[in-house]
Structure 1
Amino acid sequence: MNEHPQETPAQAVTGMVEHVLGLAATWTAWDGEPARVDGRVYTPHKAIRRVADHLVDHLAELEARLAGEDPQPDRWHASASTTVADLAPFTQEDLDEARSRLVRLARVWANRLDALTEEQLDRSPGRGWSFRELALHLKGSTYYADALGDLS
């Protein structure tokens, strides 16, 4: 018997957010120097923005496909863009806002994914990854937080 059952798609998303927020809890100590990783610049605000944008983007895709619509094209500037707001200090209030935003987005994802049948997860309507693959793709959003790491 398998002692470690396979992670569900919902757990992949909620676990990713828990990981990101665990690291973000250390970012109030950020010294203001952006991290340079893979030719891109990362800051606490940018990492949170990228995780939230990634969750919103693929949630919109999932919902459009379930409704039989073509998903809206992705027009994010993504990691290539670092805004003035991304360079701001990361305060306890920013952490509280990030927690509220990301935990709610993760719950929307988990509720939606848990409501789908195994068939819907694996044979998802429309073009693109299955919804199971989409959730596993989102798990990779830890990249943005890992670029900064633990700053405690």
Structure 2
Amino acid sequence: MTRATSPTTVHRDPADAVLAMVDHVFARAATWTAWDGTPAHVDDRVYTPHKAIRRVADHLVDHLAELEARLAGEEPQPDHWHASVITTPADLAPFTQEDLDEARSRLTRLARIWANRLHALTDEQLDHSPGEGWTFRELALHVAESVYYADAVGDLGDPS
């Protein structure tokens, strides 16, 4: 899978970038229990708290599957996400403290899997990755750009 442009990789540890992305998402998401149900319109898309979490998780899963397939010498399985083009009825649900707790558990574990995998790779593997597409360092830094989804919803203030 070929990408049009690659993320900036200068002086960035890819594992730290993925972990920092998830921390950034949580900083935003901690305010989303105050969401009034009005979707945010950003660029040509609509975003809600649930949709932002869904897209971050999808990105982590999709690109981790790509990384693992390429390491195994396989072609990555194409994804069939609807991505941010659609907004599902579930995306429009209120965002509760329980939803935040679930998101924290899910995204923390996915980010830790990414960090463990990336730390197990050498610089050579990170920068000269097998198969077609971005290097694994670039792929991880692309995943770190998932802050976009949380920033689309934004900081909704103190939920208390």
Give the structure-2-normalised TM-score.
Answer: 0.91
Aligned to 2:55: 50
Confirm whether residue 73 of structure 1 aligns to residue 72 of structure 2: no
CA displacement at 1:7 relative to structure 2: 2.9
Higher normalized helix content (fraction of residues): 1
Cα deviations across residues 87-106 of structure 1 (Å, max 9, x unaligned)? 00000000000000000000
Q: Give the distance between the partners of 1:9 and 1:107, measured in 2 at CA.
A: 12
Residue in structure 2 matched with residue 82 of structure 1 by the alignment: 87
Aligned to 2:137: 132
SS in structure 1 of the partner of residue 84 of structure 2: helix
Aligned to 2:3: none
Question: How far has the Cα of 1:6 moved from its partner?
Answer: 3.1
C-alpha distance in 2 between matches for 1:42 and 1:22: 17
**103, 117, 120: which one aligns with 1:112:** 117
SS in 2 for 1:94: helix
Give the aligned length.
148
**Code of the aligned partner of 1:81:** I
Q: Aligned to 1:36, what secondary structure does the other structure show?
A: strand
Match of 1:29 in 2: 34
Rounded Cα–Cα distance in structure 1 between residues aligned with 2:21 and 2:11:
15
Q: CA RMSD in A?
A: 1.0
* Matches of 2:11 and 2:102, distance apart in 1: 31
Query: What is the DSSP-based 3-state SS (H/G/I as helix, E as strand, rest coil) of the residue aligned with 2:94?
Result: coil
- 5+ residue gaps in structure 1? none
In 2, distance between residues paired with 1:30 and 1:71? 37
Aligned-residue identity in percent? 78
Distance 1:63 1:129 in 2: 13
